[in-house]
Amino acid sequence: MPIEIFAYCTHREPAAPEFPHEPVFVRDYSTPGFVEHLMSLVQDLFQAEEGEISQSVYAVCRHLQRTNVLVAMKVDGEHIEAVAPWAWKSNAILFLPDRSIRDPNGAVLYDPSTRQPESHAQIPFLPDARQRKAQSEVELRNRLIDTPDSLPPVISEHEVTLRSPDDVVWRMLALFVVAVRAESLASGKPIPIEALREKSPLAFQALSPWETAFLNDPSPEESAVSAAGWRYESLATLQWALGMQTNLPFPDSICDVPEAARLMIEIPARQMIESKTLRGTAEILDALDLNFRLLWAARDAAIRETELPAGIEGGVITERQHALNWLTYFENADWDEVDIPS
């Protein structure tokens, strides 16, 4: 009797199954209701955990959030072993009729009755993502920074979608005007909003709701001024992503604020919007993976109330992660809603 399999593939272009099977359907982001379906699955898993999310369920939810293609098929039992090689290449987890969730080899990642995985089950990650993780770990060990092996790879080149250069430039314009306003408030010499609007009218078209509220507040809270001032780090990260900054230095000091500002002032906004291109995807993901592990190290040190390793600056790392997560569509969140878990 055929087994119906629902394969949730994070690979943007999973290969066509070459083993005997009966196709049922293929769905992706162009399919109405696809995003809502994925969100519903994640919510159902969270609710089943009753507020105590296990590491294995969290990993399954992260995989679902990265899913690009859902392939449904029926496979006879005699051909079921042929599913595994295809599932590994497609970076798929498998939902079966018994409501269990399996890894490509068929090991149980989630059992609805016990809510426990099999000890040998593993969430799949594509080879370039695993290699990137290993590369980051070596670089950090050379700086005497140890991170747990359980910390997963970040998204693969074959999974990720990057924001457009146009979107990045608009975001930079907003970040710059917000950071300048915060800097002026912190110095006790606030620049009037109308002066900022006159100088950079396009920036005011790109503001997030939080940024709009901040700029419209004549006397924002000190915490809001501090948060907005840190946006120079997000700005410098996005400038690097667009090739405006030559490198993204190790985060043991704050960015060169005058240089970040100079670049925004000297290059007309229209010119930036019309002419910029992003760095290569691999280079951006290398930065994301390294910073993701540094974020864990910074938070671990804060929890243990010890000195941050290698002189890293927690605020710099946090802002970089915000910018890079936004750039890579982490959870498809808008700027104000970007999460930065570690």
- How many domains does the chain contain in total? 2
155 assigned to some structural domain? yes
Cα–Cα dist 124/126, whole Å: 7
Element (H, E) at 73: strand 69-75
| 131 and 51 part of one domain | no
Last residue of a domain, one of 110, 134, 164: 110
119 assigned to some structural domain? no
Instruction: With H, G, I as helix, E, B as strand and everything else as coil, classify residue 200.
Output: coil
Last residue of a domain, one of 62, 85, 110: 110
Start-end of H helices in the chain: 34-48, 55-66, 83-90, 127-141, 165-186, 193-199, 209-216, 222-229, 231-241, 257-266, 269-275, 281-304, 314-327
Per-residue pLDDT of the chain (342 residues; tens, 9 = 90+): 899 999 999 999 999 999 999 999 999 999 999 999 999 999 999 888 877 888 999 999 999 999 999 999 999 989 999 999 999 999 999 999 999 999 999 999 999 998 889 999 999 999 999 999 999 999 999 999 999 999 999 999 999 999 999 999 999 999 999 999 999 999 999 999 999 999 999 999 999 999 999 999 999 999 999 999 999 999 999 999 999 999 999 999 999 999 999 999 998 877 887 778 899 999 999 999 999 999 999 999 999 999 999 999 999 999 999 999 999 999 999 999 999 998
Cα–Cα dist 237/76, whole Å: 50
| 87 and 180 part of one domain | no
17 assigned to some structural domain? yes
117 assigned to some structural domain? no
274 assigned to some structural domain? yes
Contacts of residue 80, defined as CB under 8 A and 6 or more positions apart, other chains included, come to 3, 106
In which domain, by residue range, is 52 found? 3-110
| 174 and 58 part of one domain | no
120 assigned to some structural domain? no
| 100 and 130 part of one domain | no
115 assigned to some structural domain? no
| 218 and 303 part of one domain | yes
| 92 and 134 part of one domain | no
Cα–Cα dist 168/187, whole Å: 28
| 52 and 153 part of one domain | no
| 148 and 293 part of one domain | yes
Query: What is this structure's pTM?
Result: 0.95
| 156 and 299 part of one domain | yes
| 58 and 181 part of one domain | no
Last residue of a domain, one of 75, 110, 145: 110
| 246 and 322 part of one domain | yes
233 assigned to some structural domain? yes
| 67 and 176 part of one domain | no
